[in-house]
Amino acid sequence: MEQHARILKILQRVSGKQVNPGQNESLFASGLLDSFALTDFVSGLEEEFGVTIPDSDLSARKFDTIVKVDAYLSAKTK
């Protein structure tokens, strides 16, 4: 499964919605992720992609859109 699809799978699981947001659509402004769902989303990314997201990267703006999450994970896993 490609990275984008795996990110979407986690987003759908933690938001409880079968959504497919636009690449640059804010996951917060659209109401898909509140503060606590964001925490689950970040933990879900760590599990799915086998990465550790350090405290220094725990900023909501890094996970605001699918594009940002995609780019972040690509940088982490390359």
Partner 1 sequence: MAYIRAFGSYLPSRRVRNEELATLVGAAPEWILSATGIEERRYASAEDTVAGLGLQAAQACLNKAGVAAEELGMILCASGSSERFCPGPASQIAAELGLSATPVLDIPVASCGSLIGLAVAAQLAAHAGRVLVLGAEIMSRCIDLSPEGKDTAILFGDGAGACLVDANTGFARIADFQLHTDGTAAEILKIEQGRNHQNRIHMDGRSVILQACRKIPRVINELFERNGLTAGDPGTYLLHQANQNLIMRVAAALQAPEERFFINLRRCGNTSSASLLIAADEWHRSQNGTPSAPIVFSAFGAGLNWGALLAVPSP
Q: Which residues contact 10 (CB under 8 A, 6 or more apart)?
A: 41, 44, 45, 48
**Using rule CB under 8 A, residue 72 touches partner 1:** no
Q: How far is the CB of 42 from partner 1 (least distance, A)?
A: 6
Q: How far is the CB of 1 from partner 1 (least distance, A)?
A: 26
Q: Which residues contact 75 (CB under 8 A, 6 or more apart)?
A: none
The interface with partner 1 within residues 1-60 (CB under 8 A) comprises 28, 34-36, 38-39, 42, 55-56, 58-60
Q: Which residues contact 51 (CB under 8 A, 6 or more apart)?
A: 45, 73, 76, 77
The footprint of partner 1 (CB under 8 A) covers: 28, 34-36, 38-39, 42, 55-56, 58-61
